[in-house]
Amino acid sequence: MRQLLFGFSGAIGRESYLQASLLVWFVGHAALGIYAVTAGDAANFESIGAMLDQPGRTVGLMAANGDGLIALSVGALWGLYAWAIAALSAKRLHDLNQSGWGAAFIFVPALGVFFWMVLCASRVSQPRAFLHHKPLNPT
């Protein structure tokens, strides 16, 4: 599990990528969602959406409001989320015979969602024999 979520070598198929990236997304945003409902304005869905869309800004606001320990915890969780989604995307790109550096596109606002959908939908065009990485979970 640690190699799947946090290692950048290897390759994963699209089904495994879809499942793992959705799990990572939900876990990574759970703390922000809990904070938004308990300490934020739960009646205002726009503010909750803004918290989930801009986690870095949200962590800064938490620290400014005196919630330093919560901000540190949420920031650490978001950092793990960012690392895991980058590692998963790099492995998916390896499966597609592409460089893993393209995983940086997942963090570009607005473009990241479309990049994620392309990674979920793309099929391998060449056999994996051309890869220097062994597949972790081929599907």
Question: Which H helix or E strand runs over 11?
Answer: strand 11-12
Which residues, 6 or more positions from 87, have their beta carbon under 8 angstroms from its beta carbon? 5, 6, 7, 8, 103
**pLDDT per residue of the chain (139 residues) written in tens, 0 to 9:** 778 888 888 999 999 999 999 999 888 777 667 766 666 555 566 666 666 667 667 667 677 776 677 777 777 887 888 899 999 999 999 999 899 899 999 888 788 889 999 999 988 765 554 445 555 555 5
DSSP characters over 104-133: GGGGSTTHHHHHHHHHHH---SS-GGG-SS
For residue 40, which of 29, 53, 50 has the smallest C-alpha distance? 50
Q: Which two tokens stand for residue 22?
A: 């959705």
Domain range summary for the chain, segments of one domain joined by +: 2-137
pTM > 0.75? no
24-30: Cβ within 8 A, 24+ apart: 24/81, 24/84, 24/85, 24/88, 25/81, 25/85, 27/77, 27/81, 28/77, 28/78, 28/80, 28/81, 28/82, 28/84, 28/85, 29/55, 29/81
Pair 97, 123: CB distance under 8 Å: no
Please calculate the CA angle 84-101-49 and round it to the nearest 5 degrees: 45
